[in-house]
Structure 1
Amino acid sequence: TVFEVSGVFIHTAKAESEDVLLAGKVQLVLQGKDCYVLWNPLHHGNAVEQPDPDWTVVNTRSDQATNGNAEEEGSANQAGQCRSKNSLSIDLAAVRSIRMSTPNLGWAYLVFRMTDDEDMPPLHFHEGGSRELISMIRKYITITTDRDLLNVHPKNTDALSTSFSELQILSETSGNYVSKFFKDPVTATMGGFSRVTSFVRDNILPSSNMLNRPTEDYSQIFPDITTFKVEQDFDLIATTENKLADRPEVTRSSPLTEAEWHAFLDGEGRVLNVPDLKEKIFRGGIEPSIRKDLWPFLLCYYSWNSTTKERIDSRKHKEDEYFGMKAQWKTITTEQERRFSIFKERKNLIDKDVIRTDRMHPFFAGEKNVHLDQLFSILMTYTQLNFDLGYVQGMSDILSPILLVMEDEVDAFWCFVGYMDNLKLEQNFDMKQEGMKNQLIQLNKLVQVIEPELYGFLQSKESSNMFFCFRWLLIHFKREFTFEDIMRLWEVMWTGLPCQNFHLLLCLAILDGQKRTMTEQDLDFNDILKYVNELSLKLNVEEILRNGESIFLQLKNTPEIPAVLWEIVCQSGEEESSQASESSIEVIADLE
C-alpha cells in the first residue's frame, strides 16, 4: 500500500426514496508492476455495512497468469484479501478516464471509467484527499488533463521515455519541462500517434528503466496506427534490380545581394521572374540586410505580384487587424480571467516560455527587454487568431528568428502566421499530431531505401522508429543550428525547392554525415539519442544543404524510382507520373 485515505463514501440507493452512505477507505496498492485503487468498507465491531447487492468486484486481470516471484505473490495476496464481495477494486491499467467533481460544489468525488465504458460507483471524499490520490496515481500511470476529465494512457512507454529524456526536447536541463512540452490548453484527449505527445506532455517520471533500451513492442505505443507499427509488421525493402543513381556533386553560390534583389523589381515594385528569384535564394540564401524585404514574400505575407503601394495599403489593413485581435485579449479583466481557465492557462504557458526563449542572444538578453514583450504579445494574439490550436510550446522557438529579422511586432506576427498556416508548420503542433506521425513514417521509408545499411544498423539498435529525429522535424532544426545558420536554412526551405519535403532530405543529409561514427562506434539505443542531441550547434549548414540537394538529384536521376519515395519527396510534383514506378519497391505487411 503506497497511499491511504479514510472518510471515503459510496452513495447508493436501496430504495427509490432512500439514499445510503457506505463509509470506507481508499488505498492505492501495488501488485508487481500493476496498480490498483481499492475501496474497503469500514468495520464496526464484527458488523460490516453491506453494499448494494448489484455491485460486483472489479478485477479485470484475474484471468492473467500469476507466475511471478514470491514477493509478487505476496502483493497479490494482499490485494486479493481486499477484494471481498464488500470491496471495490479498480485496476488502473483498465481505466480509460477519471472524472473529477467541480471544485467548491459539495464533497469532492472521483468516477473511474473503464476501457469498456463502464463507470464505477463514485467515490466521495468527505474528509478530503481526492487530489492527493490523483497526485499519487500520476506516479504510476500517465494522465493528461482536460478540465475536470483525466485521461489515462498506456504505461508501456519505456522506449519513448528514453527517447525524449535523452533528447531534452525544447529543454536545456529540466526533464520536468520536457514532460510538459506538448501541453495543449484546449484538450489533452488524443488518439493514435498523439500518445507520443501525451506521454511527453505529462508526467515523465524518472526511473531505473528510463535509460534502458526498450523491451516492449512499439506497437503498444501506437495501437491506433495501422501504417506505422514495428519493423516486424511493416517494412520497405528496395529491390536490387534497379540501384539508385550516384549522388552528384553540388555547389552552392553566394547569397542574394541588394542589387540583385532590386533587379527583380519593376517600376511599381512587382517582383519579376519569381522562379529565378527563388532559385537564386535556394542556391545561396539572402544577405542579412535585405531579409526584412524578402521574408514577407517567402512567408506569404506579401503577394509576389503586388505593387509597393498595394503592399503599403495591405500592411495598414493587416496592422488594424492585428491590433484588433490584440485588444481582444488585452481587455480581458482579472475577474474575467479568473473564470476563463483556458485563456489563463495559455497566458501562463506563453509567459513561462517567453522568458526562457533565446535569452543568450543579444536581441533577447537582459531584463525588461521590449523584444520579450513583443514575443509575448504576438503569441497571445496568435491564440486569438487560431482558437482551436492555441499555443503549444515550441512556437516561441519558431517566432524568435522571425521577430529578430522583421524588427516589428505586426510584420513579425503575419510572417509567423504565414509560416504556421500557409507553409503548414501548424501540422507539427496540431493536437491530433497527424503531421508529426506522417513525417516520422515518411522518414522511416526514405532511410530504408536511400540508406539501407544505416537502416539495418538502426533496426538492430531498435532506433529505426526515428524518434531521435523528432526535434529536428518538430521545430525545423531550430535547436540544431546557430541563429545565422537557421535563418539561412529556413529561407532556403521556404522557396519550396527542390521539392515539397526538402526538410526530410535534410534529415537524411545529417544522418549521412554521421552514419560512419554511429556504426563504427556501434552506438546503442541510448548512445544514438545522446549523440544526436550533442550534434546541436555543431552542424555545417552549407554542407547539409549540399548533401540534401545531392540526395534529391540522386532520386531524380534514378530510373523507375519507387513511387512511394517520389510521393513522399514531391507529393504532387510535376515529374511524379513519369519518374515513379511501383515495380522497384516491395511492401511487406498487411496495412489494413
Structure 2
Amino acid sequence: MWKSSEDADSYYEVRSGCEVPKTQFRIKTRKRTLSERAWRAAFTEEGCVRIGDTLGRIHRWGVHPSIRGEVWEFLLGCFDPNSTYEERNQIRQRRREQYAIWKEECRKMNAVIGSGRIITAPIITEDGVPIQDPIVLLEANPDKDLSTVQHDRGDVQGENDDNQEEKESAVHDDLSSNSGASGLDKMESAPMDKKEIQWKLNLHQIGLDVVRTDRTLVFYEKQENLSKLWDILAVYAWIDKDVGYCQGMSDLCSPMIVLLEDEADAFWCFERLMCRLRRNFRCTESSVGVEQQLHSLASITQVVDPKLHQHLETLGGGDYLFAFRMLMVLFRREFSFGDSLFLWEMMWALEYDPNMFSMYEEPGLTDEKSEEAKAKMKSRRQFGKFERENMRNGMKDLEPTPISVFLVASILKGNSAKLLQEARGLDDVVKILNDLTGNLDARKACSTAMKLHKSYLRKAKKSNSAPA
C-alpha cells in the first residue's frame, strides 16, 4: 500500500557521489496523484478509457511513477482513448514489427545497431569515405568487448613511442581479417547515397550525446540501456528524412527508455513526442526551428509584462534566444529528472486533444479505424483545460502556441523583479535563468502558465475586436 505522500526520487535512483536537485514532486494518492486504482477505474469493460475522468487529476497532481509509461502512451496520442484492449494489442504488435523492420534496415548499414554497443567516433568523412583509424575500427566492431575497446583507446591515445604505428597496423590487420565483423566493412560493400551518408555522419554525435544524457541516473550505468537509447535515436534519424538527428533529442527520448521496458514501445512514444516538437529541430541557414515560438514568447511577454519586455529589448535580448534551451528540450535542464517528468505530463494533460492520434502521420503505418469511429464527436470534456480555453476563445483553428511558451513566460514573469534589478546584459539574464535550476516548482509554473494563457487570450481578443 502506498503512503499518502511518497518521495518520487526513490523511483529514479541517482548514482552515489552525484549531487542533483531533489524533486519537489510528492506522490499524493488520496484523490490527488493519479494512482493505478484510479487509472484502472477509468477503463470500460472493453478497454476504452474515459480520459476526461483523469485529465484534471493529472494536470494538478501528476501520475504515479508505477503507471507513468502506460499513461504517457495515451497522453502522447499513441492510442485512441476509444480503442479497445484488443485493438491496442493489434496496433502495438504492428508497431513493434515496423520498428523491427526499420532497425534491421539500419543494422544492415551498420552492424553496431542492435549489438548492445554504441559509436562515439566518426566512422565516415563528409564525402562518405570510411575512416580507417584503428580506434574507430575497434569501436565499430560489435564482436569486441566494450571495456577492451575503451582500454585500447586509452593505450593508443597515450602512447608516443616508436611502436605505436606498428601496433595500430596490427589492430587494423586483426579487425580486417574478421570478414564482415566490422561495421565499417559493410560501408565498403556498396556506394552510399546522400541519405545514408548523412545518417552515418549522425551516428557518432548520437553516441556522444547518449553518454552525456542523464548520466547521474543508476539506470544508465547499464550498457544495455545506453545502447537502447542509441538504437532508438539512430533508427529515428534514419526514418525522419527532414530532421534526422539534432542535439537535444536524446534528452527528450531518455525518459521513454526509463519508463517503458520494450524498446519499440519507447520508440513510438518518442516518435509521437517528436510529432509535436520536430519543427523546433528544423533549422536552415536563415532561420532556427524554434524561432516562431520565440516570437510568440516575445509577444506574450510584451502583453503580460511590458516593462520586462522593454528591459530585455534594451539589453539586446528582444529575440529571446536566451530561452532557446528551455523550449528545445522542454525544461530538462531547469528541473530535476523527476520534476521534468511531472511537468511534461501536466503539460500534456492540459494540451490533450482526443483527436491527436488520427492527426499524427505515422510513417509506414496506418491504423485502421471504422468510419463510425472517425466520425465520432469528442465531447469538450475530453479535451485538456488549455485546449478548452483555446476553443472557447476561437483559437482552435489557428496555429496554436504550445503551453511550453506560456511556461517560459511564467518563469520570466516570476523572476521579473530580479531581472529588472540585476540584469545589466544578456550574460546576466542567462546567469539568472541558469541559477533557477532545481529551484522551480513545476506545479506552480504550470498553474501560473495557465493564468497567463487565459489573460493573454482575453487581452488579445479584446485588442482584435477593438475598432481600427
| TM-score under structure 1 length normalisation | 0.50
Does the CA-based 8 Å contact 2:60-2:443 persist in structure 1?
no
Q: How does 1:169-318 map to 2 (within 5 A)?
A: 254-272=32-50, 274-318=51-95
Query: Of the candidates 187, 197, 203, which is equivalent to residue 337 of structure 1?
Result: 187
What is the CA–CA distance in structure 1 between the aligned matches of 2:423 and 2:68, rounded to whole Å? 43
Q: How does 1:153-168 map to 2 (within 5 A)?
A: none
Paired residue for 1:583? 466
Q: How does 1:374-393 map to 2 (within 5 A)?
A: 374-393=228-247
Query: Per-residue deviation at 1:489?
Result: 0.8
Q: How does 1:56-135 map to 2 (within 5 A)?
A: none
User: How big is each residue's C-alpha offset from its partner over 1:320-368, in whole Å with a ceiling of 9 and x where there is no partner?
Assistant: 1101100001112524435543232111111121111111111113xx5
Paired residue for 2:338? 484
**Larger gyration radius, structure 1 or structure 2:** 1
Query: Of the candidates 444, 462, 466, which is equivalent to residue 298 of structure 2?
Result: 444
More helix by share: 2
Which SS does the other structure have where 2:243 is aligned?
A: coil
What is the CA–CA distance in structure 2 between the aligned matches of 1:429 and 1:525, rounded to whole Å? 24
Does the CA-based 8 Å contact 1:427-1:434 persist in structure 2?
no
What is the CA–CA distance in structure 2 between the aligned matches of 1:314 and 1:580, rounded to whole Å? 46
Query: Per-residue deviation at 1:469?
Result: 0.6
Query: Per-residue deviation at 1:454?
Result: 0.9
Structure 2 gap ranges (5+): 1-30, 110-182, 352-383, 388-399
Does the CA-based 8 Å contact 1:562-1:583 persist in structure 2?
no
**Residue 425 (str. 1) matches residue 267 (str. 2):** no
Residue identity in the other structure for 1:468: F
What is the CA–CA distance in structure 1 between the aligned matches of 2:207 and 2:289, rounded to whole Å? 26
What is the CA–CA distance in structure 1 between the aligned matches of 2:204 and 2:313, rounded to whole Å? 41
User: How big is each residue's C-alpha offset from its partner over 1:150-198, in whole Å with a ceiling of 9 and x where there is no partner?
Assistant: xxxxxxxxxxxxxxxxxxxxxxxxxxxxxxxxxxxxxxxxxxxxxxxxx
Query: Per-residue deviation at 1:254?
Result: 2.4
Query: Per-residue deviation at 1:431?
Result: 2.8
User: How big is each residue's C-alpha offset from its partner over 1:468-496, in whole Å with a ceiling of 9 and x where there is no partner?
Assistant: 11111111111111111110111111121
User: How big is each residue's C-alpha offset from its partner over 1:251-290, in whole Å with a ceiling of 9 and x where there is no partner?
Assistant: xx82212121112100111112x23422322222211111
Does the CA-based 8 Å contact 1:463-1:525 persist in structure 2?
yes
Residue identity in the other structure for 1:308: Y
Change (3 A) 1:463 1:481: same
Does the CA-based 8 Å contact 2:300-2:456 persist in structure 1?
no
Paired residue for 2:403? 502
What is the CA–CA distance in structure 2 between the aligned matches of 1:276 and 1:283, rounded to whole Å? 13
What is the CA–CA distance in structure 1 between the aligned matches of 2:464 and 2:334, rounded to whole Å? 35
What is the CA–CA distance in structure 2 between the aligned matches of 1:434 and 1:344, rounded to whole Å? 24
**Residue 562 (str. 1) matches residue 465 (str. 2):** no
Paired residue for 1:354? 210
Query: Per-residue deviation at 1:513?
Result: 1.5
Query: Per-residue deviation at 1:522?
Result: 4.4
Query: Of the candidates 402, 414, 420, which is equivalent to residue 268 of structure 2?
Result: 414
What is the CA–CA distance in structure 2 between the aligned matches of 1:580 and 1:410, rounded to whole Å? 48
What is the CA–CA distance in structure 2 between the aligned matches of 1:345 and 1:304, rounded to whole Å? 39
What is the CA–CA distance in structure 2 between the aligned matches of 1:523 and 1:254, rounded to whole Å? 43
Paired residue for 2:452? 551
Change (3 A) 1:522 1:412: closer
Paired residue for 2:441? 540
* Length, aligned pairs only: 310
Does the CA-based 8 Å contact 1:427-1:435 persist in structure 2?
yes
Does the CA-based 8 Å contact 1:457-1:519 persist in structure 2?
yes
Residue identity in the other structure for 1:270: C
Residue identity in the other structure for 2:40: H
What is the CA–CA distance in structure 2 between the aligned matches of 1:458 and 1:309, rounded to whole Å? 54
Does the CA-based 8 Å contact 2:260-2:266 persist in structure 1?
yes
CA root-mean-square deviation: 2.0
User: How big is each residue's C-alpha offset from its partner over 1:288-341, in whole Å with a ceiling of 9 and x where there is no partner?
Assistant: 111122111111222211111221121111111101100001112524435543
What is the CA–CA distance in structure 1 between the aligned matches of 2:315 and 2:70, rounded to whole Å? 47
Query: Per-residue deviation at 1:434?
Result: 5.8
Paired residue for 1:11? none
Change (3 A) 1:464 1:582: farther
What is the CA–CA distance in structure 2 between the aligned matches of 1:279 and 1:404, rounded to whole Å? 25
Structure 1 gap ranges (5+): 1-252, 564-578, 587-592
Q: How does 1:358-377 map to 2 (within 5 A)?
A: 358-365=214-221, 369-377=223-231
What is the CA–CA distance in structure 1 between the aligned matches of 2:34 and 2:77, rounded to whole Å? 19
Change (3 A) 1:446 1:530: same
User: How big is each residue's C-alpha offset from its partner over 1:70-126, in whole Å with a ceiling of 9 and x where there is no partner?
Assistant: xxxxxxxxxxxxxxxxxxxxxxxxxxxxxxxxxxxxxxxxxxxxxxxxxxxxxxxxx
Query: Per-residue deviation at 1:459?
Result: 2.0
Does the CA-based 8 Å contact 2:332-2:340 persist in structure 1?
yes
| TM-score under structure 2 length normalisation | 0.63
Paired residue for 1:321? 98
Query: Per-residue deviation at 1:545?
Result: 1.4
Change (3 A) 1:582 1:337: farther
Query: More relative contact order in 1 or in 2 (CA 8 Å, sep 6+)?
Result: 2
What is the CA–CA distance in structure 2 between the aligned matches of 1:403 and 1:346, rounded to whole Å? 20
